[in-house]
Amino acid sequence: MTNKFRLFAGSANPALAELVANQLRAPLSPRVIERFPDGEASVRIEESVRGCEVFIIQPTAPPVDERVMELLIFADACRRAAAARITAIVPYFGYARQDRRRGQRAPVTASMVAQLMQVVGINQVMSVDIHADQLEGFFQVPMDALTATPALCEALQPDLPPGAVVVSPDVGRVGMATEYARRLKSSVVVLHKHRESGSRTTVTHVVGDVAGRPCLIIDDMISTGGTIRRAIEALLGAGARPEITIAATHGVFVAGAREALSHPSVRGVYVTDSIPVNTEGWERLRVVSVAPLLAEAIERIREDGSLSGLR
């Protein structure tokens, strides 16, 4: 790596940033992140970035607002220090779910966050398995949406029981489920659900045959675990074998999620390290790293290469 390259870790996931740095055989650049007594974030860059290509790794993991604000401050510091180019690597883009108005007096928060990122001088954004594809349209700068599906499928392959069917938890994840099925040489079942609130859904139909078959439920993220729990119950009610595997890119796992996923039929839960995950006491949880994916993307960006093979 040349001296024109700088890689920084935000406070949201320094362990992932360290793994990416190791993959690139490059050190993380020094920075100081502090908070004033009232909670205000303060970022200080402790190495020159003048004329450098800067990459900042900062998923917007909970607490989401703090992580977003820290990223904006970080980027502003780099811009004011005359960085040539700033790429924000946001493995988990928390506001992607708020991608459209659901009422006459509602915001499109994903669009607002995208605008803020551009205002502070971010020249490119990279994320992994974004919740809504239209997020890319909110940016006037390049927004690259990578996928962790190949890495998760590689980890799943030796552990899935024979004949497992891939289950999409809703219509929106059919494309992702189809890619899982292609890689795992399986078929796809789709659950139709009705959303009652921001945290409550009900499965209304199981489209496809699951009778006597083990299931792999996939999703881009698991937050409360409620949707997955109701999917498990619907699949078992449709005659699926009590051998359920769960795979999701982002393990947000808010309070109560672990309990929701502790169903006796669940054989394993697979997530990536896009967000720090506490594995203590959770033997069924497997964490797959996205560090090789992010490192490869960074190398390609630096060489003006194509990212199409990583999408």
- C-alpha distance from residue 53 to each of 148, 214, 298 (Å): 25, 47, 11
- State the residue for tokens 């890119």: 249
Q: If you classify domain 5-147+291-310 with CATH, what class do you get? A: alpha beta
Six token digits for residue 100: 């459209």
**Which pTM value belongs to this model?**
0.92
Q: 5-147+291-310 and 149-288 share one CATH topology?
A: yes
Residue positions annotated with a catalytic role: 193
Helix (H) or strand (E) holding 16: helix 14-24
pLDDT score of 156 more than 60: yes
52 touches 19 (CB < 8 A):
no
126 touches 90 (CB < 8 A):
yes
**Mean pLDDT over each residue of the chain, to the nearest integer:** 92
Helices (H), the chain: 14-24, 64-80, 109-119, 149-156, 174-184, 226-237, 257-261, 291-302
- Report whether the peptide linkage leading into residue 158 is cis, meaning its omega lies within 30 degrees of zero: no
d(CA 311, CA 308) in angstroms, rounded, equals 5
pLDDT score of 53 more than 90: yes
Inter-residue long-range contacts of 280-285, CB under 8 Å, 24+ positions, other chains counted: 282/258, 285/251
Domain boundaries along the sequence of the chain: 5-147+291-310, 149-288
The average pLDDT across 143-153 equals 96
Task: Indicate the CATH number for domain 149-288.
Answer: 3.40.50.2020
pLDDT number for residue 2: 46
pLDDT number for residue 198: 52
pLDDT score of 1 more than 90: no
The average pLDDT across 257-284 equals 94
